Amino acid sequence: MIVEVDGTEIVIIDTDDRMVFHMAYGRGYETETLTAWARMVQPGKVALDVGAYTGLFSIIAAKRGATAIALEPMPANRWRLECNAAANKVAVMLLDVAASDDNGVGTLHFNPNVPLTTGASLENGNAQHRDSIVVRRVTIDALALNNLCAIKIDVERHEPCVLRGAMQTIERDRPSLLIETLDDNMRNEAMRLLPSYEIAAILDGRNTLFIPK
| 55-111 pLDDT, tens digit each | 999 999 999 999 999 999 999 999 999 999 999 999 999 999 999 999 999 999 999
Residue 32 has pLDDT above 70, yes or no: yes
* Other Cβ atoms within 10 Å of 192 Cβ, number: 10
Residue 72, amino acid: E
User: Helix (H, G, I), strand (E, B), or coil: what is residue 108?
Assistant: strand
pTM reported for the whole predicted model: 0.96
| Closest by CA position to 100, among listed 156, 188, 182, 159 | 159
Q: From its phi and psi, is residue 193 left (phi > 0), alpha (psi between -120 and 50) or beta?
A: alpha
Residue type, 150: A
Homologous superfamily of 30-212: Vaccinia Virus protein VP39 (3.40.50.150)
Where is 31: in which H helix or E strand?
helix 31-40
